[in-house]
Structure 1
Amino acid sequence: MRKPTTIETLYLDFDGFFASVEQQARPALRGKPIGIVPFEGTQHTVVIACSKEAKARGCHNVMKVPDALKACPDLILVPQTPDLYRRAHNTLLAEINTIIPIDAVKSIDELTCRLDTSQIKNPHDLADKIHNRIERYVGPHITCSIGFAANRQLAKIACKQDKPNGTTIWTPDLVPEVLFPLPFDDIPGIGENMQRRLNKIGVYDMQRLLALSPKHMRKIWNSVTGERLWYVLNGYALQAQKSERGMFGHGRVLPPDQRSIPEAFQIARMLLIKAARRMRKAGYYSHKLHLWCGMRESSFGTSIALSGVHDDKACIDGLKAVWARLEASVPRSSRIIRVGVTFGDLKLAGQRQTDILLNDDPERQKWEQVSHAIDHLNAKYSGSIVTLGPWTPPKGGHLGGKISFTRIPRAEDFW
């Protein structure tokens, strides 16, 4: 296994991305504490992201709105605009690509690059070029922190150390000692449950952790992940293994006045259709549908087997079946706060095993052709102009356009 003798990777993390994009786009918000919320008109939600001004006054991401307002009474609550963040993301990628080729986009606000010989010699110069390019061609209110190290994981940890708008360089001779003062919270791959497991065996800090052997780390994690973590934290060139597509899904917090069971079903149906569109475009079929609903005091989840489908008709029939289970299990007066639908057990077209009783019968083929025709028309006119059933998105919009750590929406996700 190769251990680099110099830095090889750059990791870039935009600072307070959603909030900074709003401030760049809307001058009235600049220099003020703002918190991004799912939609306006309710206190019963969380701050998705907050500006550096809000963070300086005690706010943090994923903080309940009442708590955030208590910490910062003049906090300005700004409803999210995911399509603006998507467009800002694409603009920023284009500008950074003029300085250095992007190796991988890790999320809406994180990316990584491989360094060439000249960039390895002058990392500060490279970081300055990126900062200056963003300030000049995108705007001064969107900033980023940059980390340099021998591998991607170390560079990611490094770029968190001097936020906001900082540059941190960890050459191989500094590793692993430079990690010793860091809390476990700063290390990707060490969550709360793993911290408790480490504490039980007397490992309370990074110095003790890195004194373990790779095999011991593997035993603690009960998988090769622990051993791989030891190697990357000690500066070895080890890239993450490519993951396979496991699901297509969408979820949404429902507006306060659309939380009845019938209204929640209509929103779940539209989320399902959005996910089915994405699944068809990627060439997959699903053999399982999962429904999850969150209520004030409880939650409900259930799954149903599908016969290798991706057309809207079959998917909606599956949703109706799992929704009937929900209606039979919870009081009719229940208020559904959040709903999510997920297609799992995916197979590509060439791998699909069809139900022997269905065997792609003419009725099934007809509905697949209908769904593909609908997709074609919607793509042609860039909107949901044809749908199977009513299409009345909930208040706040952004149906299917949620930005997660693992997915960046496309333009069509906002149709």
Structure 2
Amino acid sequence: MADKRFVFIKDNTEDMEVSRPSLTYWQDAWRRLKKNKLAMVGAFTIIIVLLFGLFGPSMTKYSYSDQLNKFKNLPPRLEIFDVGENVNFHLSNDYNIFLVTDDGEVYDRLEPDKLQRDMINKIYVYKYGTEDDFEEVTLDFSYNLLPSKQGFDYDHTIEYNGVVYTQPNDKIFNRTFPFGTDDLGRDILTRVMYGTRISLMIAFIATLVNLMIGVVYGSISGFEGGKVDEFMMRIVDIINSVPLILYVILLMVTFKDNDGLTNIVIALSTVYWVSMARLVRGQMLALKEQEFVLAASVIGVPRYKIIFRHLIPNAMGPIIVSMTMMIPSAVFTEAFLSFIGLGVSAPQASLGTLANNSLSGLLTYPYQLFFPALTIAIIILAFNFLGDGLRDALDPRLRKG
């Protein structure tokens, strides 16, 4: 009689479905990064900003240095007096009258008649039309004073073709200069695009130098340890103790023939790698105690191969996160140096230079500062969002879900 205590069952391992495929470290990191909405918004914004800075200037009609003095200090949104027949008058803050179409295209500026201008009574006369056939447009500031909380505001009228216009009829967007123009008539949109390109170029150069010098330097220091580590870290301390502004000033004095852009690139390349070196050194001190490093040493793997093939690849997570965080820091540093006059030289423009140029007319033309400042804020926020997402995605302790 057969023993029925044991029952043989069919091997069904071939029919079993794999509930979750095997993922590599980077595939799993990408899967978790995609779940972070802010990180993906930051990545998408970075792509838009890169396209904006790289290809935007080639899609506009103007160069960053083109000066159209006839169209100076135009805002991005125009208050217009509709006088009919697809003709609108826009009165700027410096008493210039511009001709605007119904679609928002600015195509000309009225020239004042200096012989009929009455500065005492605040009456200005402009010529509209050709030299042989023109009509007069009268701007009158003298007829009324309106009380306000700040005191009294001058009201004004515009008289054209026998009709007196007391208030603007509408507000339309400036299609010729979407971001407006500065005090020299340069297109702010083109200059912001070009400034974004300059700032990002400096930031990415500093990041590449970070990767090449900081990672190698920190790896050697952490892996060797002892007196070598002590000596190399004291060099880092000395470099880190000198302010960045002093580096830039010394470079400007030493390399007088270089432009401001070259000086900033050299300054950032000189000092920006020290924080990366400290980070990588800390990672090396922890990783070199692992068993795989001991095994590689026992079988005779050269020291440089252990560093570049085993230690650095295992520390790439923190390195990538640090690089992502260093880019907005470099953008802000470049903007600050250009803002105080140590950056790129005219006619080149960076975001910091644009902010500096707009200070003189801040109260009258605030849009000239708004757009470069907004671009700096967007770049910094986008990279910070992406850096936070990368930190969470590349952290092995968070590998779940």
- TM-score interval for Structure 1 and Structure 2 normalised by the shorter chain: under 0.3
> Which one has a larger percent strand, Structure 1 or Structure 2?
1
> Which one has a larger percent helix, Structure 1 or Structure 2?
2
Work out which structure has the larger RCO, using CA pairs closer than 8 Å and 6 or more positions apart in sequence: 2
Compute the TM-score of the two structures, normalised by the length of structure 2: 0.24
Q: Which has the larger radius of gyration?
A: 2
